[in-house]
Structure 1
């Protein structure tokens, strides 16, 4: 087994944000393999987050983010369990990142369970018609629709979108990591996104 050096522990800490002792344990458990140690910490974080998911989160922050010189505005409420965590820089930075995500990626819902049944049914109809127009065989259309529906959820559901600051992870994975790091359940409760002139009829030229 490779010797676990202080430099390795420091690198793992910088890459994951986990505590020094957790980083050392992860490296020892994976024989000094940096990538496996990252996976080890992520899995541990997922397990910790799953345990906390059912806990009541009634504290938190409502944040406002204005972008593009006042052309786009976002209001978002993110809850945690205690006022102590709500006041930490890390939690507030996370909330700001979520507001920026909403401004940039235009989600319509927080999670796929929030998407109304009639919206899903309409999307399936459109996708099936598209596949038929492309000349796809009847027997594979349903499979194609399911695949494209997954893409639809990734576009319109905040938690399934790639995180704008690190597209290798989803917003859900970012949320899970924050729950593990801050030690409390965190819930993105609701948001509103406003874009200047959205929904207004544009004046027609001569």
Structure 2
């Protein structure tokens, strides 16, 4: 039997936001398999097991740069400890300079980007100087560079916390900007079904099957129900199949087709996405759960 450590329970608790005891039960049932335990919680608790995925855990900005001809662009996430620093003009200037360097110099990774110079100083030297001046840690997290087949457009939302960039062939400027805005608002995971990770699809199918069985659905209908759930999931996470934010009577794909255009690529950054910053007192939570169970 797999050893279920407190650290593993805590990790699942933070990932799913499910009660601690439920996390432990799920890990025991899954024999220590973290992914399987997460699926068990999703079947049992539904959307409550996904609340943590919406939390952002770091401050900072997404800086965006697009060349004048709109053929070359980049997005660059820079993190800080507080939102106050994320609004600092020097911090923003550093982030914007980094985004432009990504587009123009095409660095291989964050380390290579950090070594590039702005006005005689490397980006890393600028970062260290600001850390010393402001007294708060800052880090270069990630970037993406895009070369357009058509034209690039972007949308930055929520005080530069969300950045989206799209490559649109055909159509006009308004359409390109609307699609970028939609990406920022609806946060698709892929352009179409072909871009969705197969493991995510299989996970959705397994969860749907278990939910159908637990609700007492006839066995001969379970596969059909699961396929329906997968199709619904794919519509929700693929850009071309999502209802357009400004007119939910049409999908983004239908909108593009009506304008004689197509979206060939997009990228989306959400500041702090995937970084955990919770400071729960796990020991206190365990003690409280144990005390409650004794009173029951």
- Counterpart-to-counterpart distance in 2, 1:105 and 1:170: 12
Of 171, 183, 187, the match for 1:102: 183
RMSD, matched Cα = 1.7
Of 157, 162, 168, the match for 1:78: 168
2:156 matches 1:66: yes
- Counterpart-to-counterpart distance in 1, 2:278 and 2:207: 30
Structure 1: 5+ residue stretches without partners: 1-57, 81-89, 180-185
Structure 2: 5+ residue stretches without partners: 1-147, 282-296
Instruction: Give 2:278's aligned residue.
Output: 203
Instruction: Give 2:266's aligned residue.
Output: 191
Name the TM-score, length of structure 2 as normaliser. Answer: 0.43
**1:1-206 equivalent positions in 2, closer than 5 A:** 59-80=149-170, 91-179=172-260, 186-205=261-280
Instruction: Give 2:64's aligned residue.
Output: none
Ranked by relative contact order (alpha carbons within 8 Å, sequence separation 6 or more), the top structure is 1
- Counterpart-to-counterpart distance in 1, 2:198 and 2:218: 26
Instruction: Give 2:54's aligned residue.
Output: none
- Counterpart-to-counterpart distance in 1, 2:149 and 2:204: 36
Name the TM-score, length of structure 1 as normaliser. Answer: 0.61
Larger of the two Rg values belongs to structure: 2
1:198 partner SS: coil
Deviation at 1:205, TM superposition (A): 4.4
Deviation at 1:165, TM superposition (A): 0.5
